[in-house]
Amino acid sequence: MQFNQVENPRGNPLKINGQIWIFAPLSLGAAEKLMPKLKTFDPSDFALVADVAFKSLKRNYPDITREYVADELLDIGHVNDVFETVMGASGLVYTGDEPQEGESGE
């Protein structure tokens, strides 16, 4: 299924089933609603992974539905890659890197 993509998609690419999808950073509103579950992420919480993927993809593919993401696009093999891609795009994953000169360390 094809979904219209915004003109200038933001985020990180991930190839799923032969197609490149651009996972955008989560909006503040989405992160706020999902944060309690994100803090204690369990890879077996498939509903959370579907919610995170949907909220991320919706920013670049406005016509996409959660049902499509959960039932058609993703499978159990995508859980870790999708979660890591969205969290990385959102800046919610600690990489262990020290701030570069000119970046705030606080």
State the pLDDT at residue 81: 92
Residue 38 lies in a domain: yes
State the pLDDT at residue 93: 59
Q: List the chain residues with pLDDT less than 50.
A: 94-100, 103-106
- Report field, pTM of the whole predicted structure over 0.75: yes
Residue 64 lies in a domain: yes
Domain that holds residue 85: 25-90
Distance CA 86, CA 22 (A): 9
Residue 101 lies in a domain: no
Residue 72 lies in a domain: yes
Residue 45 lies in a domain: yes
Residue 32: both structure tokens together: 């706020």
How many domains does the chain contain in total? 1
Residue 54 lies in a domain: yes
Supply φ then ψ for residue 95, to 5 degrees. -95, -15
State the pLDDT at residue 87: 87
Q: What is the rounded radius of gyration, in angstroms, for the C-alpha atoms of the chain?
A: 14
